[in-house]
Structure 1
């Protein structure tokens, strides 16, 4: 596990993955483009009110995996196999957890 207080180790897709949106590169992407055009707080509000889209779920997981240092090719394979075109509910929980961690930091 990393020293990143916003990182989460998540058992998903047949393994344990580190996801974080607090990575410097991810922060630059989010500051420039947002999460599908929304600030992190607006994106979190969309998850909390149930007004997220499948693209929101995919983008948060994608950025979280990249922030957790998962190689880009592996991220694409994981998204293709476990997110794109799959039921939303399991992935919504993961995306919400990763996004909320950006605000609350260490869960303990």
Structure 2
């Protein structure tokens, strides 16, 4: 699976960017509509510094992921964007369901 996925790494990194933006935007909208952030660390960070802190935390995660990606063997690298994008995709689906479902 990793070998097949590695042929599509550009698409996987694009998915990381899209899911990052979707999660931040939908979280922001949810907070504006009275929902609460489920992650207590993120909840405290957003309460103290605003929604931009969520974006900053996610960009930091991508930076960490890129560092790990560079250190990994080529055939295993696809797990990094998958590991970033899949949880954010899940969070985006949950947020969209709560907001629009």
TM-score when scaled to structure 1? 0.33
Asked which structure has the greater RCO (Cα within 8 Å, sep 6+), the reply is: 2
Structure with a larger share of its residues in helix? 2
Structure with a larger share of its residues in strand? 1
